[in-house]
Structure 1
């Protein structure tokens, strides 16, 4: 096996695309008939029929979307597949608009021409499909934050004509950058893409790392007024909607979307801030190993240790499957199904999308996984991570599509957990001290980027959103960011002034305010569960499988609490950091 190529025909034959599209369009037209039947006294059968109708259309649209979108990822230059994908998105928008009045009514909102759905009848109706019961009651809980049908329509149009073009304009400015790369002692040259420039931030040549960051951040510094205007507009838009929807704060709106209580996020951020010293000590160790006395921000991703031998795809896949088999027959069976169904595309190709992801179509179809496997140990961990997502989807595969996928608190549980299991196996099979050192350094680097860096983005956002309400200049915003950078890295890492403009480069804080804590959340939750597995071993496996099998059909906080995991307490998050400390201790052992 030299490569894996996915079989998209298994989703449905591409020749049937137009036929399927037309049938879904006709089916959406029946939504009005279901709306007419909405009444507090309606029969259980009539209400159940609507829920099944909604689930079926959603599943068919998702399959249609992935049929086009997955083809596009294999050839991102294809205008045809992009056009088909956008047509499906329009179809989905049409269904959302058609069914919005029904979901407003289910939430208990007033809808013109309809009798309000009271609590007694809601209790009677919502149990008709047990897997959707918690989801439906959650919708009613969010009713105070939902506007009238007309107001929701206006907000949707406002996004299309307001914030979306602003963010698109920001992206146009950014993608138009051409960078002057001039490392010390080398001839200056032009670099046309950000991706190529960023590859030098991991260079073994220090002057190239510094030159790459300078070339990148000087562009944002020179255009800081433009990026400040875009960010201020995004903050105002988010804050306006949060206020309009009766949230107590801008952060509260994100927490509500994620079904996470504010005290859990507060505890998470406190734990990250309180444990930042682990990473600060790590950077001191890295500086010492690299023999850099004046360790600076542009040095943090410098490569360390010997290059580990490449792991062919066959060998990497066998290693991952063996780890799953040792952990749980259910994990192994699900992962093997994805492989055997030919739902993985592994090989880097020209015009293929970079990175990796797992797409879960649901409704009886195994997930699809995109990789760009080059044989590095990191690629083996990525394979384990994405298969973990696929395992999660298959374990929850008997649920309706709308609740099959776990929400943020549990979305990264299986993937990160699987990755850590495989990482420990990679350590066992790597005999040389230098090879183990390289693995540990890479893992600590990834941990920093996923946990502390993301948490500090959110800490910046919290301060920035409040400061912008009172009036703030671009320099003032940059000073807030710089102050937090100094706190984040401590005395062991010198922060050059140019990094105060880094906030303008971070897309998530503009496109998805406060989203970044999700990365730290998922990583630390999985590490805390890994600690429990190490303590309980096989007694923990059924617990893990049960947590994953509920998908998004139950309140994630309550699911975890039922197994004595309280994510609202800082102590819980500290357990994850104890695992990171163990990684750090393992690294230090390779240095002696």
Structure 2
């Protein structure tokens, strides 16, 4: 790879000029015109009843898929602009316009779904038998079934329109709140720095406990100052969802997120049950880590702190080289993809003010490219995040030639691809460590991710479930939100910590994402599913690369239970697969205990 690698992404490849791009303005106009045409066709088209009439649906399906790709392209562009510079007001305005187009598309999708429900049995069978829709039969059948479980299309369309300034508006308010947040931090030399939320979050992984503790105090205080705004947003987001569920006649809180993730309640219960039964090993790890850090119990800000060679850092070029090297041991194609992403400026990694916190990978499917966002500070955790997001990018890369509806894979399997890439890199790095001290550091960083998925994410799931139950009865105040968060954290961590993070509900963006409710358990599913996949990779050797690609390409075309049965021969509704995955994580803990 070239050196030094660029650390800023290229968005001009899509639309030159950023938030002032004339070409993007024209692109949105064309997208709006295509949407108008889609609406008109859907209103004019009569639902076919006979086999001979089935082909009348094909032009509408083609137009809808073209709109999907264009809309994803537009949303990715505005999302990238807003993330790279939270002070770019023009980007925020463009994002609002795209949200409005998305609402208009959601209305068109409602009309499309209603049309599918009215197609006659003979015509439906003929449509699904048509080779032109072979790759999208599952999403078509899924849309037809889900539509029958919703309100009449006119009411669903009205909800979509009202959601722009209501439901989604509260999510935007949260984003604005975060963009204004600044933490004044005094360095040991007396200089004072104004840290954004993203910069402060990175600094809380410092090997210096005094730094972590000081920043955590400031972090909690700052979120306490903003808590009322966050509580308003969270309450109204939940209230909107609950009222919608009530009108649709849905009683189960997890009905929508499970449907979105194409998984059953039995699978979710089996996964959490195995995790609950295996937490003792992770409690031993937390106890040992506390001893190594010289404290009676870990506090929240200690859980992700490094041990051993805590100063182990990687320049951006070193981190990139490590990722490519480890990817290549498993999959030359995945390594080649990573090289392309690094060299062609698909990654925004520069550590600077004004960027939003966190990391993500977003797709530009019409251009068949992706873009990755993060703030790289050189920690082992940063390298893992970079590998994680490249895994997302590779997932999209192998699906680029599929129809738009077949590319619509759920969050849980999306997180499978990303955490699998992270695991390939992390496990190989541990095995190739130059010394016992380096091995310990890398192994401990790997275990931290297990703790995050089995305990931190579990706390989020427990909190959100309890919060929604209470929200049915009315607004939930800031203090009560803190209490619910503390209770969930203590239960998930089995009271293993000395101090917790009561304002975590305010500081975590995931609770405020309007597109996906319960933006938590899919992460744990993805982590455990990818762990099981990794075990398969170790057994199957070189043959697994093509099998893995085949699995990824099927993620938008079946339920997760069907996916696991077809490609792995396992039943996710039973504990066996989950236990094997957990055992691999426990083996890491046992090795850590041996090394320390």
Pick the TM interval, shorter chain. 0.7 to 0.9
Q: Which residue of 32, 35, 39 maps to 1:28?
A: 35
Query: Partner residue of 2:257?
Result: 254
CA distance in 1, matches of 2:32, 2:358: 33
Deviation of 1:541 (Å): 3.4
- Partner of 1:301: helix, strand, or coil? coil
Are 1:416 and 2:419 counterparts?
yes
- Partner of 1:359: helix, strand, or coil? strand
Q: Which residue of 573, 584, 591 maps to 2:589?
A: 584
Query: Partner residue of 1:508?
Result: 510
- Partner of 1:145: helix, strand, or coil? coil
> Which is worse superposed, 24-33 or 255-264?
24-33
Cα gap change, 1:453/1:323 in structure 2, threshold over 3 Å: closer, same or farther? same
CA distance in 2, matches of 1:226, 1:82: 19
Contact conserved, 1:178 with 1:190, CA < 8 A, in 2?
A: no
In the alignment, structure 1 segments of 5+ residues that lack a partner are 109-115
Cα gap change, 1:292/1:66 in structure 2, threshold over 3 Å: closer, same or farther? closer
Contact conserved, 1:255 with 1:261, CA < 8 A, in 2?
A: yes
Q: Which residue of 105, 108, 125 maps to 2:115?
A: 105
In the alignment, structure 2 segments of 5+ residues that lack a partner are none
Count matched residues: 580
Matches of residues 535-550 of structure 1 in structure 2 within 5 Å?
Answer: 535-550=539-554
Q: Which residue of 557, 561, 584 maps to 2:561?
A: 557
CA distance in 2, matches of 1:341, 1:206: 38
- Partner of 1:131: helix, strand, or coil? helix
Cα gap change, 1:87/1:464 in structure 2, threshold over 3 Å: closer, same or farther? closer
Matches of residues 11-410 of structure 1 in structure 2 within 5 Å?
Answer: 11=14, 16-31=23-38, 32-41=40-49, 43-98=53-108, 100-106=110-116, 108=117, 116-128=118-130, 129-166=133-170, 194-195=197-198, 198=201, 201-217=204-220, 231-307=234-310, 309-339=312-342, 341-349=344-352, 351-353=354-356, 355-363=358-366, 365-410=368-413
CA distance in 2, matches of 1:510, 1:73: 16
CA distance in 2, matches of 1:76, 1:19: 24
Deviation of 1:139 (Å): 0.7
Cα gap change, 1:123/1:364 in structure 2, threshold over 3 Å: closer, same or farther? farther
Are 1:2 and 2:10 counterparts?
no
> Which is worse superposed, 190-199 or 334-343?
190-199
Cα gap change, 1:348/1:467 in structure 2, threshold over 3 Å: closer, same or farther? closer
Deviation of 1:189 (Å): 8.9
Query: Partner residue of 1:111?
Result: none
CA distance in 1, matches of 2:244, 2:211: 43
Cα gap change, 1:270/1:192 in structure 2, threshold over 3 Å: closer, same or farther? same
Deviation of 1:23 (Å): 3.2
Query: Partner residue of 1:430?
Result: 433
Contact conserved, 2:203 with 2:212, CA < 8 A, in 1?
A: yes
| Greater C-alpha Rg | 1
Contact conserved, 1:55 with 1:400, CA < 8 A, in 2?
A: yes
Deviation of 1:186 (Å): 12
Query: Partner residue of 1:466?
Result: 469
Cα gap change, 1:186/1:422 in structure 2, threshold over 3 Å: closer, same or farther? closer
> Which is worse superposed, 436-445 or 361-370?
361-370
CA distance in 1, matches of 2:494, 2:208: 24
Cα gap change, 1:365/1:279 in structure 2, threshold over 3 Å: closer, same or farther? same
Contact conserved, 2:326 with 2:429, CA < 8 A, in 1?
A: no
Deviation of 1:551 (Å): 3.7
Contact conserved, 2:198 with 2:357, CA < 8 A, in 1?
A: no
Cα gap change, 1:393/1:508 in structure 2, threshold over 3 Å: closer, same or farther? closer
Deviation of 1:67 (Å): 4.3
Deviation by residue 1:179-204 (Cα, 9 ceiling, x = unmatched): 79899x99999977545554564344
- Partner of 2:458: helix, strand, or coil? helix
CA distance in 2, matches of 1:100, 1:481: 36
Query: Partner residue of 1:112?
Result: none
- With structure 2 as the length reference, what TM-score do the two structures score? 0.85
CA distance in 2, matches of 1:225, 1:192: 22
Cα gap change, 1:83/1:584 in structure 2, threshold over 3 Å: closer, same or farther? same
CA distance in 1, matches of 2:338, 2:586: 30
> Which is worse superposed, 28-37 or 158-167?
158-167
> Which is worse superposed, 549-558 or 411-420?
549-558
Deviation of 1:482 (Å): 3.4
- Partner of 1:367: helix, strand, or coil? strand
Deviation of 1:131 (Å): 0.9
CA distance in 2, matches of 1:473, 1:92: 30
CA distance in 2, matches of 1:521, 1:306: 31
Deviation of 1:98 (Å): 4.3
- Partner of 2:114: helix, strand, or coil? helix
CA distance in 2, matches of 1:362, 1:284: 46
